[in-house]
Structures are given as structure tokens and as C-alpha cells.
Amino acid sequence: MKKYIAELAMACLLLISFFVLSKQAAEVVNQLNKKDAVSNVIVVDPGHGGADPGMIGLNGLEEKKINLEISLKLKSALEEKGFSVVMTRQEDKGLYEDASHNMKSQDMQRRIALINEAEPVLTVSIHQNSYGDAGVKGPQVFYFQHSAEGEKLAKTLQEYLNRGLEVEREREAKPNTSYYLLKRSEDVLVIAECGFLTNPDEAALLQTEEYQNKVAKALADGVEAYLEEKKTLN
């Protein structure tokens, strides 16, 4: 009788163990499936917006407007390639409350929260550049200095921008350790400065739909190339 009870107890223990292990295995599979499901999500972040115009270029040209126009075109270009795109904003509005004592800080914090919640495979933040010398021009991509994947993405995007925009004097992707978005993002994030609003020729081009489409296409092609290379290495 004792032997029977012991065998029955052992059988029950094995059944319980099997149930627990099966449940854990199912959870792991669900987590992997979830990761796969979001692996094609890309966040596009149009810099500034609302009360924050960004930098002011020639003839009062506001950066926030150019950022949004290019970002919306980039969204369309990425979706045509089969990616799922999350935008941090789709209108001229910042990510802050009007009553906030520090709109800029709240805006940046909310951008990071939105990006982290989306769990994207990568994020591209769209901006425009400026410099005291009006002769300086050309796109440049920034990445967090301590991010190996960020560096790879930035260099790929820089290459495609240089080629797609037929840049006369090519720039190189540049590391950075101070930009808030680069420091705080939990995933791969780069900042694409598409051109200089302080350069007359480039400022004029950046306001045209044709040139904005070129920028968006170059970035979308670069994103696709980076992810294809990453897939082959994995």
C-alpha cells in the first residue's frame, strides 16, 4: 500500500512538473512570437513641433515644418516596403502639455516613452542642421557613440543619403554622447540631419516635394539595406 501511494505521489509530481514546464515553454514561445511580430516596426520621429520650431533658417524657415514633411514621406516609403511605422507626431504639435513648466523636457521624455513602448527594430529621428558659415551643407547622421548597431545603421543611412542626394562633398556619420534621444533610447536610434537650413541652395531644395521625396527614399532604402544585412548575419 505504501509503495502504491509513493508511486501515485511520484506520478502526480511528474504531472505537475510537466504542466509547469509546458506553461513556461508556452510563455517563451509567446515572447518569441511577440518579438517577431514587432521586428518590422520602425519609429519615425519628426523633431520639434508646436511651440518648439527647432532652428530658424533663412527667411524665417522653421525646422519643424520640414521635419514633419520629410517624416511623412519616409513613413509612406517604409510602408511601401512592408514595414509597420509608428510616428511620434503627425501634425504640428509637440508632445507636451500646454501647462507644462518645461515643455521641452516633457516633450523629449514622452518621445522616448513612446519609442520604448513601440519596441521598434530601429528609430530614425528627422532633423535639419544649421551653421554660422552659410556655405556649409549636406546631410549627416548621428548615432550614440556606445551603440555598435547605431553606428552600423548611421553609416548605412549616411551612405544612401550621400548617394541618393548626389552630395558634392560627402559627410560621414558622426558619434555623439550628449543628445537626449540617443542616450535614452532602449533600442537602435539615429538622428538624421537632412540638410542645412542656413545654406541658401539646400534650404530651397528642402522645401520642395521632389527633394523631400529623394531624402525619404534614400533613408528608406538605407533602412532596408541595414536590416537585410543584419538578417544575413543572424
Query: pLDDT tens for residues 183-217?
Result: 999 999 999 999 999 999 999 999 999 999 999 99
Q: Which runs of consecutive H residues, i.e. helices, occur in the chain?
A: 2-37, 63-80, 103-118, 148-164, 180-184, 200-206, 209-233
pLDDT of residue 136: 96
Average pLDDT over residues 66-85: 98
Q: Does 24 score more than 50 pLDDT?
A: yes
Q: Does 88 score more than 70 pLDDT?
A: yes
> How, if at all, do strands 174-176 and 189-196 pair?
unpaired
Average pLDDT over residues 22-35: 46
Q: CA 223, CA 42: separation in Å to the nearest integer? A: 9
pLDDT of residue 234: 74
Nearest Cα residue to 56 out of 134, 137, 133, 130: 130
Q: Does 41 score more than 80 pLDDT?
A: yes
Q: Does 33 score more than 50 pLDDT?
A: no
pTM (two decimals):
0.84
Asked if residue 76 lies in contact with residue 210, where contact means CB atoms within 8 angstroms, the answer is: no
* Banded model confidence at residue 233, pLDDT cuts 50, 70, 90: confident
pLDDT tens sequence across 58-74: 999 999 999 999 999 99
pLDDT tens sequence across 142-154: 999 999 999 999 9
pLDDT of residue 48: 98
Place of cell 516635394: 209
Asked if residue 111 lies in contact with residue 180, where contact means CB atoms within 8 angstroms, the answer is: no
Compare 198 and 28 and report the one with higher pLDDT.
Answer: 198
pLDDT of residue 69: 98
Averaged confidence pLDDT in the chain: 89
pLDDT tens sequence across 98-149: 988 999 999 999 999 999 999 999 999 999 999 999 999 999 999 999 999 9
- The b/e string for 136-147 (b: 16+ C-beta within 10 A; e otherwise) is ebbbbbbbbeeb
Pick the CATH number of 40-233 from 3.90.1150.10, 3.40.630.40, 3.30.420.10, 3.65.10.10: 3.40.630.40
Q: Does 21 score more than 90 pLDDT?
A: no
